[in-house]
C-alpha cells in the first residue's frame, strides 16, 4: 500500500510540474507580448506628440510632461498584469495539484488491481499445491521404508524427496508472503512471553540442527514480555534459525541471546557460518534474492523469500530486523522489538 501512496505522490508532483511549466511559459509569453504591444502603442502616441514624427528606440529617461501620464499608465498596467498572472498561476498550481492527485489515483487503479490479482493468484496456486505436495511427500517417505528397494531406486526417491521438501518450503514461503502482503489481513496481537517464542522455534528447528551437529545456546532469558502475534514471531525466529543452520558448517554453535537496550528488546541470533559479503548485504531482504556465492549455491534449498517474509512480519510489529556479517566469520541477525 505504501508503495502506491509513494507512486501517487510522485505522479502528482510530475503532473503538477508539467502543468506549471506550460502555465508559466504561456503566462510569460502572454506578458511579453502584451508589454510589447503596449510599448508599441506608447511609441505611436509619443510619435504623434514628437515634432519629427520618429519614435525613439527605447523608453526615454526624461519624458516630456505631457507624456508622463501615459508612461505611468503603462507601468500601472504592466504591474497589474504581473499580479494577475501570478494569481492565475497560483490558482493553476492549486487546482492542478488537486486534479493531478485525483488523476494519479485513477491512473494507478488498474495497476493496483492487477497486482492484487497477481497476489491472489500466487496465494491460491500455493494453497492448491500444498495438498498434492504433502501427498507426494508421504508416499515417497513410505516407499523409502521398503527394505527391498535397490540402491539406485532409493537414491532416486531420496532426490525426489529433497525436491518435494524444497517445493513445499517455496509454497509455504509464497503463502506467508501473500498473507503478510494482504492489506486486509490484520495480525491479532496479544501479550507474549519471549521465552515461549524462542522455545517453540528452537523445538521446531532442533532436528535440523542435530543433523548437522549444530548446538543452539540460549542466554539472557528473563521473563521478557512483548506485544505481538505468536505464530508470526515464531515464523520469523524459524526463518533466521533455519538460515543460521543452512549457512553454517557442521559442529558449530548458534547463540541466541536477549538483551534490553533502552526501550527496545533485542533478540540476537549469532552463527559461525559462511557470512554475507558487503556487496550482498543490502539485498538479502529483497524477494528472491540469494547471495551469489558458490557455497550458497551448494546449499540450494532456498528461494530467497524467507528474509523478506521475516522483515514484513517485523514491520507489522513496528520492529526491525538488522544484520551484521563477516565473510567466513558468521552473521548476527538482530530482531528489535
* Residues in contact with ligand ADP by the rule CB under 6 A: 239, 243-244, 247, 271, 273-276, 284, 289-291, 296, 302-308, 331
| Shortest separation between residue 289's beta carbon and ligand ADP, angstroms | 6
| Shortest separation between residue 125's beta carbon and ligand ADP, angstroms | 19
| Shortest separation between residue 290's beta carbon and ligand ADP, angstroms | 4
Taking the least distance from each CB to ligand ADP, the nearer of 101 and 289 is 289
The CA-based diameter of the chain, rounded to the nearest angstrom, is 126
Cβ-proximal residue to ligand ADP, closest one = 302
Taking the least distance from each CB to ligand ADP, the nearer of 85 and 245 is 245
All residues at 6 or more sequence positions from 78 whose CB lies less than 8 Å from its CB, including other chains = 34, 35, 38
Q: State the cell numbers at 284.
A: 538479502
| Shortest separation between residue 198's beta carbon and ligand ADP, angstroms | 17
Taking the alpha carbons of 72, 78, 81, 85 in that order, is the dihedral positive or negative?
A: negative
| Shortest separation between residue 31's beta carbon and ligand ADP, angstroms | 59
Taking the least distance from each CB to ligand ADP, the nearer of 173 and 224 is 173
Taking the least distance from each CB to ligand ADP, the nearer of 105 and 304 is 304
Q: What is the dihedral of CA 203, 218, 323, 1, to 10 degrees?
A: 50
Helix segments in the chain, DSSP class H = 2-49, 65-144, 151-181, 194-211, 230-246, 294-298, 306-316
| Shortest separation between residue 268's beta carbon and ligand ADP, angstroms | 12
All residues at 6 or more sequence positions from 290 whose CB lies less than 8 Å from its CB, including other chains = 296, 297, 302, 303, 304
Taking the least distance from each CB to ligand ADP, the nearer of 302 and 319 is 302
Pairing of strands 320-326, 330-336: antiparallel
Taking the least distance from each CB to ligand ADP, the nearer of 229 and 311 is 311
> Distance (Å, rounded) from C-alpha 73 to C-alpha 69?
6
Amino acid at each position: 500500500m505504501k508503495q502506491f501512496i509513494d507512486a501517487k505522490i510522485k505522479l502528482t508532483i510530475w503532473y503538477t510540474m508539467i502543468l506549471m511549466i506550460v502555465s508559466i511559459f504561456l503566462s510569460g509569453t502572454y506578458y511579453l507580448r502584451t508589454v510589447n504591444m503596449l510599448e508599441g502603442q506608447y511609441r505611436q502616441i509619443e510619435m504623434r506628440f514628437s515634432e519629427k514624427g520618429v519614435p525613439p528606440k527605447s523608453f526615454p529617461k526624461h519624458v516630456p510632461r505631457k507624456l508622463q501620464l501615459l508612461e505611468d499608465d503603462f507601468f500601472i498596467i504592466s504591474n497589474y498584469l504581473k499580479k494577475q498572472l501570478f494569481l492565475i498561476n497560483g490558482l493553476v498550481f492549486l487546482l492542478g495539484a488537486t486534479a493531478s492527485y485525483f488523476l494519479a489515483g485513477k491512473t494507478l487503479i488498474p495497476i493496483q488491481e492487477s497486482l492484487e490479482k497477481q497476489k491472489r493468484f500466487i496465494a491460491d496456486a500455493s494453497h492448491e499445491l500444498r495438498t498434492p505436495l504433502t501427498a507426494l511427500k508421504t508416499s515417497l517417505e513410505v516407499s523409502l521404508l521398503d527394505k527391498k528397494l535397490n540402491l539406485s531406486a532409493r537414491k532416486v526417491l531420496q532426490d525426489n524427496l529433497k525436491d518435494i521438501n524444497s517445493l513445499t518450503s517455496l509454497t509455504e514461503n509464497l503463502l506467508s508472503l501473500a498473507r503478510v502482503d494482504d492489506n486486509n489481513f490484520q495480525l491479532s496481537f496479544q501479550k507474549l512471553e519471549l521465552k515461549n517464542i524462542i522455545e517453540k522455534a528452537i523445538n521446531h528447528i532442533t532436528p535440523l540442527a542435530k543433523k548437522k551437529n549444530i548446538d543452539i545456546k540460549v542466554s539472557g532469558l528473563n521473563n521478557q514480555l512483548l506485544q505481538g502475534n505468536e505464530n508470526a514471531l515464531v515464523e520469523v525466529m524459524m526463518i533466521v534459525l533455519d538460515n543460521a543452520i543452512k549457512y553454517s558448517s557442521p559442529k558449530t554453535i548458534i547463540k541466541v541471546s536477549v538483551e534490553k537496550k533502552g526501550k527496545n528488546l533485542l533478540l540476537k541470533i549469532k552463527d559461525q557460518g559462511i557470512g554475507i559479503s558487503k556487496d550482498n548485504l543490502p539485498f538479502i531482504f529483497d524477494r528472491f534474492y540469494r547471495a551469489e556465492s558458490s557455497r550458497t549455491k551448494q546449499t540450494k534449498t532456498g528461494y530467497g523469500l524467507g528474509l523478506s517474509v521475516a522483515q514484513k512480519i517485523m514491520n507489522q510489529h513496528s520492529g526491525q530486523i538488522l544484520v551484521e556479517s563477516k565473510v567466513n566469520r558468521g552473521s548476527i541477525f538482530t530482531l528489535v522489538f
